[in-house]
Chain A
Amino acid sequence: MNTVQLAVRNVERKRARLLVTAGAMGLAGAFVIFFTCLLDGFYGTMVGNVVDNECAHLQAHAPGWRADPDLYNVIKADPRALDAAGLAWAPRLSAFGLAAKGEASAGIEMRGIDCAREPRVSKLNTRLLLGAWLDPADPHGVVLGRRLAEKLAARPGDELVLLSQAADGSTANELVKVRGVLMTVSGRTDEAALLVTEGFFRDFFQLPQGWHEVAVRLPGDAPDLEAGRRALQKALPGAEVLTWKELLPDMASIADMEKGVSFVFMTIAYLAVGMVVFNAMLMGVFERIREFGIMKALGVGPGRVAAVIAVEALLEAGLASLLAGALGLALAVLLHRHPLDLRGMLSSSATVSGMAFDPVIGALITPQAVLRPLAFLFVLSMAAVAYPAYRAATLDPLAAINHR
């Protein structure tokens, strides 16, 4: 009888122990798989919100513009070169001014939006609390940030006066109508953003060409930001290109911290699983000391005894993996299809580091999130069985047979 047959028979003889051990390991593994998918989903939701709201994955500006947002400091290169690189991009314009409604007035950051391209890089056009999005057919219709609308007591349909200084030094002023009000997006947008169409912006500021910002969205859930940066720099030579992590370092820190928390939590979870496996293996050896003593008395060598125990552990780990994979994946799929909606628990829009966070958390299922815990179960089983196998292999046959 070979080693594997011996191990299979041993396992079959102790079905109750097998079910308890593999069940405990499987449940622990399922929990790890589910929690990994949940944390990945939370992280993905957070990053997705940042990218979707307005930031996009990458932004290009003329050098120095971010430190000093000068109306004249524009990207002169034609961003249509990005089409050749296959990137989704949208150009933006930005300048400061004043908006007034009756006696109320507030400083604004007027942003000129390319209505056709903006939805390719952000979901800003869907983040409306009131009214409607910009429409190039209604150039005097504007969309306000939430806090700005509150400061001006402005609602869709209200009339505003805009005042600033045009590029030629003249006084830029115009009457506009509020088309929509954004829901919470980010601190900066909420406080001061007044969105207009590109055409209106250029007429208002007498700025016939150039862009202050080119936003790029990369394909996929976890895009290669550095490759995107290189493509953007190649298409817009001389422009300063920043990733969302550089644009929003606080948010990136939170995301990194979440990864750290996830690592610590997973380490604890794996250690707990390791204890379960180790305990099961140790007990499995100790309760069979006489059995191993007889095997050795019959001439079975220490190496084969250890191998039998190792194969038993592998069989248990295999069964546990099947259970962990099936249960963990089922729970993750359930959360993926029915995300946790925490909006009811929050009084208003949640924000993380000033950025709006839509608190609907689903699971993100990736091969890595499922296979890594399963692989770890096997590794853990082998590690946990090492000591019991050594004990069994080095038993004195006579003492083992007389063991009580």
Chain B
Amino acid sequence: MKFLPILALALGLCPAAHADAPPSQSDPRAVALLAKVDDLWRGDASHTVMTMRVKTAHYERTLKLEAWTKGKYRTLVDILAPAKDAGTITLKNNESIYTYLPRTDRTIKLNAGMMGGSWMGSHFTNDDLVKGSRLSEDYISVVSFEGQRGGRDVLELTLWPRPTAAVVWGKIVSVIDAATDMPIQSTYYDEDLKLVRRMDFGAIKDFGQRKAPSTLKLIPADLPGEWTELDYETMQLDSAIPDDTFSLARLKRRGP
């Protein structure tokens, strides 16, 4: 599905040793690995059920979500629980995000100023949902480390944004398991190369059509002790999803 990679690919980690100048071209091996990571959760369409747990200094909450994606730029996320938020639907259609609010029975379009805001009280932003970038295409990537870490063989890829790419990160460092090509951790830096957040991937799960990490834990760098974790329960790729699932007219319905 697309929802997962959008969130996953928006995150990364990088030690200070890699704060060197961006390379002029990608390492083909790094590009091939990133393409694999990009496609882990991507199909022409996807249908996912997941649990999102959020821990902040002020609250802890658990939401159950159902999500549909189609193509690169269409995503629909329906909140199933808790009851207070149930029925709230987020629709991403190209660069726009709409939210259906069952309490008011209204749909509103989020403006540019809201894109940096929290999505459903989590550490993900609305912008994370909108960005449909592929790491392998939007970043110049190199293999910056290859060897053992934590008792397993890993590859560390450092990604620099292409000058023409409309991306938010100044640098991403992704650590990939050399044996399975599965992502382990990504760290994300802003334009000043200051660490912003980290994403830990875990619990490789066989979703039937493919294996992929089923948990993604987002840890903001500036909020100690806070995190948001996505736990994918089911994932169906390339399922037939009607186009009008992503239409405004269908927002009031729960699901396609």
- Which residues does A use to contact B, with CB under 8 Å? 72, 98, 100, 103, 105-107, 161, 163, 165, 167-171, 173-175
Q: How far is the CA of A82 from the CA of B85 in the complex (A)?
A: 40
* Chain A nearest CB, measured from B140 CB (Å): 35
Q: How far is the CA of A387 from the CA of B56 in the complex (A)?
A: 82
A103 CA to B98 CA in the complex, in Å? Answer: 10
- Does A100 contact B59, Cβ atoms closer than 8 Å? no
Given the interface contacts A72-B58, A107-B114, A168-B61, does A173 sit within 8 Å of B109 by beta carbon?
A: no
Binary per-residue interface labels of chain B (211-225) against chain A in the complex, 1 for a CB within 8 Å, 0 otherwise: 000000000000000
List A contacts of B120 (CB < 8 A).
Answer: 169, 171
A161 and B108 in contact, given A170-B84, A173-B101 (Cβ under 8 angstroms): yes
In angstroms, how far is the closest chain B Cβ from the Cβ of A159? 9
Whether B117 lies near A165 (C-beta < 8 A) is yes
How far does the alpha carbon of A105 sit from the alpha carbon of B85 in the complex, in Å?
21
Identify the closest chain A residue to B114 (Cβ): A98
Say whether B180 faces chain A, with CB atoms less than 8 Å apart: no
Cα A308 to Cα B7 in complex, Å, equals 96
| Residue contact A168 to B106, C-beta cutoff 8 Å | no
Query: Does any Cβ of A come within 8 Å of B113's Cβ?
Result: yes
CB-based contact B59/A98 at 8 Å: no
**Interface pairs A-B: 7 shortest CB-CB:** A169-B121, A100-B108, A107-B113, A173-B101, A169-B59, A161-B106, A175-B104
Are the CB atoms of A168 and B59 closer together than 8 Å? yes
7 A-B residue pairs with CB within 8 Å: A72-B58, A105-B110, A107-B113, A161-B106, A170-B85, A174-B104, A175-B106
In the complex, what's the smallest C-beta–C-beta distance from B111 to chain A, in angstroms? 5
Q: State A168–B118 Cα separation when bound (angstroms).
A: 13
Rounded to whole angstroms, the CA-CA distance of A169 and B99 in the bound complex is 16
B106-A165 in contact (CB<8A): no
State how many angstroms separate the Cβ of B173 from the closest Cβ of chain A. 28
New A-B pairs, 6, CB < 8 Å, besides A107-B111, A174-B104: A98-B113, A165-B117, A168-B58, A169-B54, A170-B85, A175-B104
Which B88-128 residues sit within 8 Å CB-CB of chain A?
Answer: 88, 99, 101, 103-104, 106, 108-111, 113-114, 117-118, 120-121
Closest A residue to B109 using CB positions? A105
Q: Contact between A105 and B108 (Cβ–Cβ < 8 Å)?
A: yes
CB neighbours of B88 from chain A (8 A): 171
Tell me if A163 and B58 are in contact (CB < 8 A): no
B121 touches A170 (CB 8 A): yes
Nearest B residue (CB) for A159: B106
- Chain B residue with Cβ nearest A151: B111
Cβ distance A12 to chain B, nearest Cβ, rounded Å: 80
| Bound complex: CA A163 to CA B113 (Å) | 13
Contact B110 A165 (CB under 8 A): no
Q: How many A-B residue pairs have CB under 8 A?
A: 59
* Nearest B residue to A192, CB-CB: B113
Would you call B110 and A98 a contact (CB within 8 A)? yes
Most chain A CB within a 10 A radius of its CB, from B84, B101, B109, B120: B101
- Across the interface, A161 reaches (CB within 8 A) one of B56, B58, B101, B111, namely B101
In the assembled complex, the CB of B180 is this many whole angstroms from the nearest CB of chain A, namely 34
Nearest B residue to A163, CB-CB: B108
In the complex, are the beta carbons of B111 and A163 less than 8 A apart? no
Contact yes or no, A169 B114, CB < 8 A: no
* Chain B residue contacts of A171, Cβ below 8 A: 85, 88, 99, 101, 120-121
Q: Shortest CB–CB separation between residue A110 and chain B, in angstroms?
A: 14
Cβ B109 vs Cβ A163 within 8 A: no
Residue with the greatest number of chain B CB neighbours at <10 A, chosen from A72, A168, A169, A170: A169
- Chain A residues lying within 8 Å of B54, measured Cβ to Cβ, are 169
A94 and B184 CA atoms in complex are apart in Å by 41
CB contacts (< 8 Å) of A168 on chain B: these are 58-59, 61
Residue of B85, B108, B109, B114 with most chain A CB atoms under a 10 A cut-off:
B108
Q: Are A100 and B106 in contact (CB under 8 A)?
A: yes
B110 touches A173 (CB 8 A): no
**How far is it, in angstroms, between the C-alpha of A98 and the C-alpha of B106 when the chains are bound?**
13
Q: Which residue of B lies closest to A162 (CB)?
A: B104
- Find A167's partner among B58, B85, B110 (CB 8 Å cutoff): B58
Contacts A170-B84, A173-B104, A175-B104 given; does A103 touch B56 at CB 8 Å: no
Contact A100–B109 (Cβ < 8 Å): yes
Interfacial chain B residues near A175, Cβ < 8 Å: 104, 106
Given A161-B101, A163-B99; A169-B61 close (CB under 8 Å): yes
Q: Collect the chain A residues with CB atoms within 8 Å of residue B104's CB.
A: 161, 173-175
B111 A98 Cβ-Cβ under 8 A = yes
- What's the least CB distance linking A166 to chain B, in Å? 8
Please report the C-alpha to C-alpha distance between residue A163 and residue B111 in the assembled complex, in whole angstroms: 12
The residue in A72, A100, A174 that gathers the most chain B C-beta atoms within 10 A of its C-beta is A100
Q: What distance in Å separates the Cβ of B123 from its nearest Cβ neighbour in chain A?
A: 11
For B117, what are the chain A residues with a Cβ–Cβ distance below 8 Å?
A: 165
Which chain A residue shows the least CB distance to B105? Answer: A175
Q: Which residue of B lies closest to A101 (CB)?
A: B108
* Bound CA–CA A103/B106 (angstroms): 11
Nearest CB in chain B to that of A170: its residue: B84
Return A136 CB to nearest CB of chain B, in Å: 22
Contacts of B121 in A (CB 8 A): 165, 169-171
Q: Hey, which chain A residues are within 8 Å of B118, CB to CB?
A: 165
Does the CB pair A105–B111 fall under 8 Å? yes
Within the assembled complex, what's the spacing in Å between the Cα atoms of A173 and B117? Answer: 15
- Whether A163 lies near B101 (C-beta < 8 A) is yes
In whole angstroms, how far apart are the Cα atoms of A89 and B114 in the complex? Answer: 33
Q: How far is the CA of A179 from the CA of B242 in the complex (A)?
A: 43
